Structure formats: C-alpha cells, structure tokens
Amino acid sequence: MTFSQAWDAGFMAVLIFLGTVFAWLGLVEPVIGRGLLSTVLMTLVALGLGGAFVAHRKRRARKLLESVR
Amino acid sequence: MIRSALLGGVAAACLVTPALACEDADRVPLTWSTIAGFYTDAMADLVAGFEATHCAKVNIVNIDNSQLYNKQVIEMVGATGAYDIVTLETSEKADFAENGFILPMTDYLADKQELLNDVAPVLATMTTRYNGDIWGLPYYTYTAGFIYRADLFEDAGEKEAFKAKYGYDLAVPTDWQQHRDIAEFFTRKAGETLKGEPLAKDFYGVGLMAGPFPEIQDELSGPIWGAGADWLDDEGNVQTAAVEKALTDYIELLKFAPPAALTVTYDGVMNQMKDGQIAMTHGFFLDQWPNAATTEQSVPGARMGVAEAPGKKAYIGGFLLAVAESSAHPEEAMDFVAYIGGPEAQKKFAAAGGTTTLTSVLNDPELTAPENRAKTGHFGTLRQIFQSMDGFQSNLFNTPYGAKIYNTMQIPLQSAAAGQTTAAEAATRLTDEVAKICGGPCPIAKGE
Amino acid sequence: MAATYATAGAGRPAHAARGGGMSDRAFAWALIAPAMAIILVFALVPLGYAVMVSFRMADLTRGGLREFVGLDNYRTVLFDQSFWESIAVTLKFTVAAVGLEMILGIAIAFLLHGATHGKTIVRSILILPLATAPAVTGLFWRNLYDPQFGVINWLLGSLGLPEPNWLGDIDIALWSVVLFDVWQWTPFVALIALAGLSSLPREPFEAAELDGASTWRVLRVLTFPMLAPVLFLVLILRTIDSLRLYDAVAVLTRGGPGTVTETMTFYLFRTGLKLFRMDYASTMAIFFLYALLVASVFALRPLLKQFTERAQAQN
Amino acid sequence: MLQRPVHPAFSTLRYALILLVVLFAAFPIFWMILTSFKPPGDIMVSPPRLFFSPTLDNYVHAIVDKDFLRYVTNTLIVSVISTVFVVVLGSLAAYSFARYNTGDGHILFFILSTKMFPAIAVVLPYFLIFRDIGRTGIGQFLQIGLDKPGALIISYTMFNLPFAIWLLVSFFQDIPRELEDSARLDGLSRLKVLRKVVLPLAAPGIAVTAIFTLIFCWNEFLFAYILTRKTWSTVTVGVESFFTLQGILWGPVAAAATLAVLPMLLFVLAMQRWMVRGLTFGAVRG
C-alpha cells in the first residue's frame, strides 16, 4: 500500500469518523439521551466504521498488487 | 447666515482665552470612532474648537452606522488602543460597561455637575448611567416624535371628508387608533384627488421603517411603551403578548404604507416624504427634521409639522461619547467628551442642524427663533417629549445584553412585517432568541 | 483523494538519467515550499483556533474564551432552526445561480464564438460587471431595485408589466439576489468557455463536417467532451464561491425580508460579529467545511485524476 | 469551429441576442456612470430622469471631501502586490504539481480545501494574529500590522493562491513535454528550463490568472473591513463614508464606483490581448 493510498484511506476514514459523530449527535442522542455511555458508544462506533474502511482499502490494495504481479 | 453670525460670536470667545502654548509636535493624538457622514462639516468645527483650547490632535474615523457596534467591539476586544473615544448607541452602553471596554467618568464629572444637570434628566439616566456609575456624555439625540404634512391636516376639504368618514376631527393623532384612521384616510390611488388636485402617482397615508434594519424596533417601541408594557419585564423576560399586539397593529398599518417600506429605514421614509408620497410618519426620529423640512421646497404647497408621537411615548435615546479602556490618553479623551457634550460645542452643533442633548441649548432664544425653523423647528417638541417622558426607563437599555438583543430583534420582527411569519410566531421567536442570548432571564441593573 | 492515482506497484519509471532522481524530487518540493508556507500557516492556524474555540464557551462580550464544554456547541448548532433554514437558502441560491450562470455562460460563449466581428468590444464589455466590487455595485443595484425610484420598475411600468417589490417581497427577494449574482458572474463563465471553445483544434471538426455529422452530434461527441475540463473547473469554483456568498446579501438585502435571503455565511457573520458568539460561529464553520470536504472528495475526483495522470504520463 | 455558411436570418438573430447580452451586462454600469453626473435633486425621484443638467459635484465630493482617490490607490497597491505574490508563488507550485505530480494530488486537494472554510470564522484569528505581528519589531518594519498594507497583502495572497494554482496547473500541463526535454538535453538547468522555456509559453495563461486574481483582490470586502481602519482602507470599505444619517448619497457613491471601475477596466483592456491568447492556450497544442 503506497503512502498515497494510505493517506487517501486515512483521510476518508477521518471523514467517516466525523460523519458518524455528527450523525450520532443529531439522530441517535435525542433518542437514547446524552451521557457518558452514549458518548463512549458513539466513539466506538465511529472508530469501528473508520477502521473497517481502512481495512477494506488495505485488502483492495493487496488484491490489486497480486493481480499485477 | 445664522451659522456665520453664531460662529463669529463663538470664535470671538475663543480668541479671548489665552493663546494655547502648544506646538503641533507634542499634541496628544486622539482617535474618535463615530457614525459615517454625520454632519461632517459640523464635526470639523467641533473638533477644531476642541483643538484650539486643548493640546490634542483629533482623528475622526467614520464608520457606517450598521457596522459601528461590531467594529468597535472588535477593537475593544483586541485592546488595540485604536479608538480613544467611542460612540455608543443607548442599548450598547451597558454591554460596553459590563465588559470593561469603557472607563467610568463618575469621578471626572464629579465637579462638572452643572453640565450633567443640563442634559435632559430622562436622557441622562437612559444614556449615561449604569450600575451606579456615569459612563460618558450624550452628544446627539435621535429621540422620536411625529412628523406630518401640516398642509394636508389643515386642508378644509380633507378635514370635512375625514369628519364625515370617522366622526371626529382630523388633527394630530393622540393615540395609535387615530393614527391608523388617518393613515387609512390618506392612502389613495393615482387619479384620486388630494387637496382637490388629482394625484399623478399613488399616495400613501404613512411611511414605515419596516426594512431589515434595527429601526423597525425603534418604531414598535412607541406603541409598546404607550400600552404601558416594555420589551423586557423586570425579571428579564420578553413580554410576548405586548410584542404580538404591537406587531399585529403594525402589520395592519403596513397596508397604508408604500411597498418599499419593507426595504427602507429612516432615509427611505424621508425620500418618500420629500417626493410627496406619504402624509405622515410613525414614531420618527426628530433629528431628521432638517431633512424633512426640505419637503417644503420639493413638494409645492407642502408645509411640515412636528409633534409628540401618539400616546406621548416613542423611542428615546442618544449617542453616548465614552472613553475606551484601552485608550493611551484617557485624561485628554475625557476632556474631549466633556467638551463635545458641553454647551459651547452643542451650540455650534445645533446651529449646523444637529439635534442637541442640552436643555439650555434647546431653550436658546436665538437658536429657536422662527427664522431658524428649518434647522431647529423641532426643539420645542423635544422639550415637550423630555417632560412627558420624564422618569421613563426601558429594561432594554439596562441589561448588559441590550446591544445583542437590539441587533437580533429586527430579524423576527421584520419576518412578521414581511409576511414570512405571523405576529404570534415572531413574538415567540423573539422570546426564544432573547432567552438564548441571555442564557435564561436577562439580568436587569436599574439605571441609578 | 478519490481512488488512489499512482497505479499500485508499478511505481514511477526511474528517471535517474536526468542528473539524479533525488534532485528531481527535492526540486519539486522546493518549488511548492514558498506557496505552502503561506497556505499552511494562514489556513491551519485559524482552523486550529476555530476547532479549539468550538469546544469551549466563547462570547467575546462575556469574558471571551471560557470553559471547555465538550460537544455542546455542536449539539446547539445541530438543533438550531435558523442554521438549517440558512443552509436551505444557501443551497437554493447556489443551485439557481450556478445553474443559470453555467447555462447562460456557455450559451453566450457559443453565440460569440460564431460571431465574425466585434468580438473584442463585446468581450471587454462583458468583463465590466466583473471589474466592479459586489460591495460597491451591489449597493447601486439596491438603487436600481427600489420599487419607487428604481429604473428597473420604471422600465417595466412603461411597458405595462407588473412592478415587483424586488427586495421586499418574500417570494422574489432571493431571486433578485440570484439575478444580481448572475449579472456579475455569467460573463466570467462565458469568457472562460469562449476561450476554451476557440482553443479547440480544428481537425476533428472538419473531419466531422466532411462526413456530415449533425451539429447536435458534433456538440455531444466532440465539443463538450473536449471542453469538459475547463468547464468543470469553472463549475467547481463558482459553486464554492456561491456557497460562501456574503457580499451580495450583506449589501442588497441584509438577509431580509425576515430571513428569506439569509445565507449560511450571513447567519454565521451575524452570530460571530454581531452576537460575538465565536463558539457557535466556529462550530458552524466547521460543519460547513466538513460538508464541503465530503462533497468535493467526490466532485474533485475526475479533475484530480486527470491532473495526476497527465503529470505521471509525462515523467 | 464550424465554418459552414450560415443562413442570414440566423446570423441577425445571433447579433440581436448578442446585443441583448451586452445591454444586460452594460446597462447597470451605464446607469451608474450616468447617476455619477446627476445633481442630487435628480437622483432619488420617481420617475427616474434620463435628461438632466450634468454636474461634476459628485466627483468633487468623492475626490476632495472624502479623499476617495486614496482608497483607490490603497486598493491598487494591495491588489497589485498580492497579485504578484500569487502569480510568482502560484506558478512555481503549479509547475511542480503539473510536471512532478508532487503530493500525488493530495496537496492540490488540501490547497483548494482551504477555500472552503468561511472567511468570517477566520477573520477574528487573522485580526488577533496581525495585531500581535504588528506589535513586534519585524511587523512594524515589514508593515504587517493592523491598518497596514502587509496584513491585507498576506490575506489576499492566501485567499487567491488556491484558485491561481489550480488554473495554472491546467495551463502548464498543456505545454508539451518535448520542448522541455530538448532544452534539458542542451544542458540547461531545471530552473533555466522553467524560466526560459516554460514560463514564456505559459505567459498567456499566467496573464489570465493574474487578471482574475487582481479582480478578486479588488472586490474583496470582509478582510479589508476588519483588518484596516482608516489609513489603509480599500475601495469597498471607503464606500461606507457615503452612508450618512440623511441616507446613502447616491451621487457620490456612483462617482466613487465609477472611479473604482476605471483602473480595473483599463488594466483588463490592456491585458485583453494576453487574455485571448492565454485562454486559447491550446493553440500551441493544436
């Protein structure tokens, strides 16, 4: 995975992380109420989604590498 | 003619004082931030008068009225020392004082009691006092009254038609119901007659300042205070019902105003008056009298009248001169404030058409002589207003959030006037906005 | 940004032949250093300041920067009705203004392209609206739009057409601002499109003409694809500027009547510089930046891909 | 493009439409210039007057009383210097992106994203930064404090670099690589190649970028309003001195606006030739 691909995946992951946080504040929190629990949950979900995206990008890059070789 | 005679007199007084031993090099630089284009020639005279008797050099920075507040706050917050003397609207005094942006002048003015007493008491409390201190001197009052086309009100034909339609005599309205009737009566399409002559273009009963400017709440203050209510009650909450009532009547009145009412402020109403399109104003700033009086030249047969606003209650206040906390020369700045707010400068200012805040100048026989009617015709009415509104106070001017409320009120009020929301929705929206600004009920510190 | 551009694994052909690859890379980075120095300092410092302020309570007229409040500012702004209303106004304005400007601009470009003489005079007149500052001419348009004293209504009146209250009527106030923006920026699009048109090589068109292709087919197959990069760049620039619209609204309508023409940046200005709630203003700015970043990750993908591929092809 | 013989009626329609476009673009400016010669009595009247006795009072008021020419010179100085900075720094950076794909598109994206942050949220930090710089020794020496030209020049350079770089990258990429390679083979250093071969070829494109950068600097309002007070206010801020308690003095505003348009117009007309060749950058490629 070249630096450029890593940077790209990282940037998109940050956008996804922030997107989940904002969505959570706007949509989920009015439902389940504020508090430490909801904040921790929110961070976990956001990190999870971001991490999943980076992993997806890593797999795709490796698959592309094999096909080229 | 009047100005030169007066200036001669004042100049003579200047020469009498010992020539000031002060080279230009060591003149103290003072910067005064004030409203753009405000009687610029009179300002030059006032500043020259001060520089003749004080070892200072005053640099005037002109700022557009709608930007004055935020530009001055930025410089105060940055403590840049850019402005030594600032010009504050009545609602901004508490805000600047509370944040320590301006210096109290209580001690400085302690030995100048006669100067303080010369300012009309109601104006003094409203513009200078906050939290037990005195924060400067007012030098220009925009107190509101009522300006109308006297020739229309005294026309026999119109009086007869009015009496037939409404059952009482056409005269200067003493309450807002009469004001509404007169507005309806004089609204006519092109082709109908006015004073017997056919109208070339539509004519409207009243000129309203319903544009996206803070002046819309100045107009609404008259009916609200007249009904014994206020924008904020003593606990600091918006009196929603009173606001809704005043807004409903205002929207009703808009039917008798030119369509441009929704885009203009005081200068637009004056243009309409000078172009012969409106019969009268709502509660309107009397300092615009010299501007309104020119209608007698631009509209044939027109004669302008001035009176107290219906219900003897209208927007009242003045521009306060205060000394910035970050000023490098507070002492000289306070001298400047005392000079500009003092009789000598105020007399010169009144002669140039400015509306003075000192009762002595308001009563000055020479100034208020009939031949100066074009410039000082409104002084008599001003004296009446200061009497009838004596002791009046509005909570809007006694809360540190006054400036911010004043800068947001126009949005919900104008939404209702423009028909975007109903009067009730606008009143509730205003209540929510004020609660958000103050973070709950607004703290009110009585003026004394 | 979008998909990765460097083809994975292929890497760049070594071009050590040209006096050491290392000095090429160093030269390339040295070239961008001065520009990046200014951009980094004067973009990241304010952004950092805004992010920091968005996590604290900050009212300039209530003690300035105060205590840490976590995500409260974000919650307040998310549930602020005026904020969402101003976003709706901004989107409505951008779609209308940019749409009209692109269509009219390209149409004018084609009109002028076919003209034989007088092109330079027309082109210099077209630059006139651009040469004037919105803060100055916008003020003058307020005079033109005046229902009583304005020229536009006088012209309409003399033709018997209705005389609208341009800036006072809640239904058409926003379109009056759009009309001003279209007046000012359509020439910008037209001039760039015209230049693009006149720079297209002749041969493909002559060939197409020989085998009798219809004008419409030539347009679809030849002209537009070749013009696409230039027009796309103009579209992106106009969209970003329209979303940040402030001058025209501040001068023409000040957000009025009511909040009908209150765009996002005007509401942000009112919050930041009239109420001095820098915390809410910074939070809104961050939301605005975030939305634009997400949109441009997709919107800029084709243009960036073209730039990087052409840069690599030539290495 | 298509040189097919065109039906005469069709071409008269074309010129009619062009006339309509020209009228739409020019009328407001024409009316503004007309108003700048109107005496006060003829301006705010209904119906608007086309015929009146012209007067130069408005220009006298703008130039003498309100010292408007100083605002025009301030704006000219700030705009021209900023444009020079933008073009120089922008061209270097754009060449690097166009030729060496520095940062593989990511830096280019970051540069454009700096334009996406609303100026209002940035203006207060800038105000505080320039206040502090202005208080330092170098700040005073380089005139970078508040109400000093340096503050505006840096802000305008910052705000126009992104647009300039993106525009210049497409111009540079239209210059065929072979010209550069042959020059390199003749032994020219990279910098010489850039200066001797690339820049002259891209000159028309650079001219276009310069014109639009100058226009954007000339029209800017918010930064000029916040970062300057009086000595260095620009045209867009100077217009404020025509707002009076009697309302807006439309005559002097029109005169000031006309004075503000002239330098820009002369500059653009002069650069017209470059603009045409610049925007037809493809000619080299054809």
Architecture of the domain spanning B2-143+316-388: 3-Layer(aba) Sandwich (3.40)
D128 touches chain B (CB under 8 A): yes
Predicted pLDDT at C9: 36
Residue C133 C-alpha, separation from nearest chain D C-alpha, in angstroms: 4
Work out the number of other CB atoms within 10 angstroms of the CB of residue C297.
18
**Residue C15: band (very low, low, confident or very high) from pLDDT cuts 50, 70, 90:** very low
Say how far apart CA B110 and CA B87 lie, in whole Å. 22
Residues of chain D with Cβ-Cβ distance to C230 below 8 Å are: 170
Tell me, rounded to whole angstroms, the distance of Cα B313 from its chain centroid.
14
* Tokens matching residue B157: 């034909």
Mapping DSSP onto H, E and C, the string for D191-253 reads HHHHHHHHHHHHHHHHHHHHHHHHHHHHHCCHHHHHHCCCCCCCHHHHHHHHEECCEECHHHH
* Touch test A–B: 3 Cβ pairs or more under 8 Å: no
* Residue B324 one-letter amino acid: A
Residues of chain B with Cβ-Cβ distance to D241 below 8 Å are: 36-37, 62
| Cα three-residue angle B35-B340-B46, rounded to 5 degrees | 75
Average pLDDT, rounded, for chain B: 88
pLDDT digits (tens, 9 = 90+) for B363-375: 888 888 888 888 8
Q: Which of D98, C60, C225, D128 is nearest to B99 (CA)?
A: C60
Say how far apart CA C39 and CA C17 lie, in whole Å. 34
Q: List the subunits that have 3+ CB pairs under 8 angstroms with C.
A: A, B, D
D282 touches chain C (CB under 8 A): yes
pLDDT digits (tens, 9 = 90+) for D162-189: 989 988 888 888 788 888 888 888 888 8
Q: How far, CA to CA in Å, does B151 sit from each of B157, B159, B195, B268, D92? A: 11, 11, 9, 22, 73
Work out the number of other CB atoms within 10 angstroms of the CB of residue C165.
24
Pairing label, strands B85-88, B318-323:
antiparallel
Residue D30 C-alpha, separation from nearest chain B C-alpha, in angstroms: 24
* Tokens matching residue A51: 């991490």
User: Which range marks the domain in which residue D173 is found?
Assistant: 59-285
Please count the residue pairs, one from chain A and one from chain D, whose beta carbons lie less than 8 angstroms apart.
Answer: 6
pLDDT digits (tens, 9 = 90+) for D227-242: 888 788 888 888 877 8
Nearest CA in chain C to D272: C124
Q: Do D246 and B65 touch (CB under 8 A)?
A: no
**Residue B15: band (very low, low, confident or very high) from pLDDT cuts 50, 70, 90:** very low
* Tokens matching residue B266: 């005081």
Interface test with D, best of B271, B291, B297 (most D CBs within 10 A): B271
Range B321-339 average pLDDT = 92
Say how far apart CA B130 and CA B144 lie, in whole Å. 22
Average pLDDT, rounded, for chain C: 84
C4 touches chain A (CB under 8 A): yes
Architecture of the domain spanning C73-313: Orthogonal Bundle (1.10)
pLDDT digits (tens, 9 = 90+) for C217-238: 888 888 888 788 778 888 988 9
Instruction: Give chain B's length.
Output: 448
Say how far apart CA D140 and CA D135 lie, in whole Å. 7
Domain boundaries along the sequence of chain B:
2-143+316-388, 144-312
Predicted pLDDT at D6: 63
Residue B1 has pLDDT above 60, yes or no: no
What is the topology classification, in CATH, of domain B144-312? D-Maltodextrin-Binding Protein; domain 2 (3.40.190)
Residue C169 C-alpha, separation from nearest chain A C-alpha, in angstroms: 34
* Tokens matching residue B89: 């609207």
**Residue C21: band (very low, low, confident or very high) from pLDDT cuts 50, 70, 90:** very low
Predicted pLDDT at B37: 66
* Tokens matching residue C106: 């390209």
**Residue B40: band (very low, low, confident or very high) from pLDDT cuts 50, 70, 90:** low
A11 touches chain D (CB under 8 A): yes
Q: Is-contact B70 B35, C-beta < 8 A?
A: no
Interface test with A, best of C5, C47, C54, C71 (most A CBs within 10 A): C71
**Residue C315: band (very low, low, confident or very high) from pLDDT cuts 50, 70, 90:** low
Say how far apart CA C212 and CA A14 lie, in whole Å. 53
Q: Which of B444, B403, B393, B405 is nearest to B123 (CA)?
A: B393
Interface test with D, best of B38, B64, B218, B299 (most D CBs within 10 A): B64
Q: Do D221 and C134 touch (CB under 8 A)?
A: yes
Q: Among A5, A19, A39, whose Cβ lies nearest the Cβ of C8?
A: A5
Predicted pLDDT at D279: 55
Say how far apart CA B71 and CA B31 lie, in whole Å. 14
C275 touches chain B (CB under 8 A): yes
Say how far apart CA C136 and CA D250 lie, in whole Å. 11
Q: How far, CA to CA in Å, does D235 sit from each of A35, A61, C136? A: 52, 54, 8
pLDDT digits (tens, 9 = 90+) for C266-283: 999 999 888 888 999 999
Say how far apart CA B191 and CA B189 lie, in whole Å. 6
pLDDT digits (tens, 9 = 90+) for D7-37: 777 788 888 888 999 999 999 988 888 889 9
* Tokens matching residue D49: 């007057």
Q: Residue A48: enclosing H or E segment and its boundaries?
A: helix A36-68
Give the alpha-carbon dihedral of D85, D88, D90, D95, to 10 degrees. Answer: -170
Say how far apart CA B285 and CA B357 lie, in whole Å. 14
Residue C20 has pLDDT above 50, yes or no: no
Predicted pLDDT at B426: 95
Q: Among D14, D31, D260, whose Cβ lies nearest the Cβ of C111?
A: D14
Residue C75 C-alpha, separation from nearest chain A C-alpha, in angstroms: 6
Predicted pLDDT at B79: 86
Residues of chain D with Cβ-Cβ distance to A4 below 8 Å are: 104-106
pLDDT digits (tens, 9 = 90+) for B123-178: 898 888 888 899 999 988 999 999 999 999 999 999 999 999 999 999 999 999 99
Could you tell me the CATH number of the domain that includes residue D122? 1.10.3720.10
Interface test with D, best of C22, C24, C25, C36 (most D CBs within 10 A): C36
Query: What's the N-to-C CA distance of chain A in angstroms?
Result: 14
Nearest CA in chain C to A6: C4
Nearest CA in chain C to B402: C275
C81 touches chain A (CB under 8 A): no
D217 touches chain C (CB under 8 A): no
Please count the residue pairs, one from chain C and one from chain D, whose beta carbons lie less than 8 angstroms apart.
Answer: 318
Predicted pLDDT at C218: 82
Residue D37: inside a domain, yes or no?
no
Residue D104 C-alpha, separation from nearest chain A C-alpha, in angstroms: 7
Work out the number of other CB atoms within 10 angstroms of the CB of residue B111.
8
Say how far apart CA B255 and CA B246 lie, in whole Å. 15
B2-143+316-388 and B144-312: same fold? yes
| Structural domain total, chain D | 1
Predicted pLDDT at B446: 67
Predicted pLDDT at C64: 80
